Amino acid sequence: MNQFGPSSFKVIPDVVKNLLIINGLFFLATFALKNTVNLEGILGLHYFDSDKFHPYQLITHMFMHGGMMHIFSNMFSLWMFGSTIENFWGGKKFLIYYLITGFGAAVVHYVVVHFQIQPTLDLIDQYLANPNLGNLDNLVGQHRFHINKYSDLDMQIAFSNFQSTIGSLNAFPNNTIALGDATAFLNQYREFYLGLPNIVGASGAVFGILLAFGMLFPNLELMFIFIPVPIKAKYLVLGYGAFELYRGIQNSMGDNIAHFAHLGGMLFGFILIKYWGKNRHNQNFS
């Protein structure tokens, strides 16, 4: 049976409804267990080369959120645009699209992360392969260590000791014990640094849904409180995509939004819709 649409229109169709419920339950669990279990660390998606990475995170990260505004904006957009898409496509096709765009968002994000963190990893590995004061000075001079009051307490203490070690080496460059302490810390820091990237949220899949809405209903005019005039869906999508690209390239300090994940969701959504369009007669989503 070939099925490209639902049998009836629903204000909140089944897949969207269940996604809203699952995201809500994960969000409640995050706060209910925050004093005992770090669910964001367990279920959020870590960098693939980190010892904190697990394959299940490729799915679970889509249901985790970092705060009330984060989950509200994603779930509101999922309902607003996703309901229309699911009513148009049907539940099974919509769910496949949702999961693939969420996965694609994560892949694109971490491809970008790889190129961002690799220069630092090269400096650390250069020192660990040849521990000497010159390589250590090169690393310390070029890298801002990502340790602050929110970091693990053991790492804060280790970093404080490392700073003292740097002072000792500046005063006594031939202090082999201090050099060994620096090496021990940087082995520890390398794993810590690899574990820092951690994305949570349904934003990648939601941006994929936004892209689908713009492609399927390009001339539909939308009204928003913050936009005084109607705007066609295709222009909203283009504008949003351009904004995310600008912010991603800008890479402002303190910006913890995964802009390239948003673009990855849109990219995978575009590819998937085009693929389905070319293979329309061979699809079976019953």
Question: Do residue 235 and residue 190 come from a single domain?
Answer: no
Question: 254 pLDDT exceeds 90?
Answer: no
Give the whole-number percent of the chain exceeding pLDDT 90.
67
Domain boundary pick from 175, 195, 215: 195
Of the candidate ranges 41-55, 149-163, 180-194, the one whose mean pLDDT is the lowest: 149-163
Whether 103 and 44 share a structural domain: yes
Amino acid 23: pLDDT: 96
Strand spans (E) along 25-176? 45-46
Strands (DSSP E) found in 62-175: none
Residue 164 pLDDT greater than 50, yes or no? yes
* Angle CA 119–120–125, to nearest 5: 100
Residue 263 counted as domain residue = no
Domain containing residue 215: CATH number:
1.20.1540.10
| Beta strands in the chain, from DSSP E residues, in sequence order | 45-46, 198-199, 221-224, 227-232
164 domain residue, yes or no: yes
**Is pLDDT above 90 for 63?**
yes
pTM (predicted TM-score): 0.86
Higher pLDDT, 7 or 22: 22
Are residues 89 and 133 part of one domain? no
In a domain? residue 167: yes
| Amino acid identity at 197 | P
Q: What is the pLDDT of residue 85?
A: 96
pLDDT over 70 percentage in the chain = 92
Looking at the fold, whether 183 and 133 belong to one and the same domain comes out as yes
Tell me which of 249 and 23 has the higher pLDDT. Answer: 23
Let me know if residue 130 belongs to a domain. yes
Q: Which domain holds residue 156?
A: 115-195
In a domain, 10, yes or no: no
Band of residue 117 on the pLDDT scale cut at 50, 70, 90: very high
The answer to whether residues 100 and 179 belong to one domain is no
- Tell me, yes or no, whether 188 and 238 share the same domain: no
Count up the domains in the chain and report the number.
2
- Inform me whether the pLDDT recorded for 69 exceeds 50: yes
Residues 120 and 234 both lie in one domain: no
CA 85 – CA 121 distance, rounded (Å):
43
- Closest C-alpha to 77, from 224, 245, 218: 224
Please provide the average confidence, as pLDDT, over all residues in the chain. 89
User: pLDDT tens-digit profile of 262-276?
Assistant: 999 999 999 999 999
92 within domain boundaries: yes
pLDDT in tens, 177-234: 999 999 999 999 999 999 989 999 999 999 999 999 999 999 988 877 666 788 898 9
Q: State the pLDDT at residue 8.
A: 61
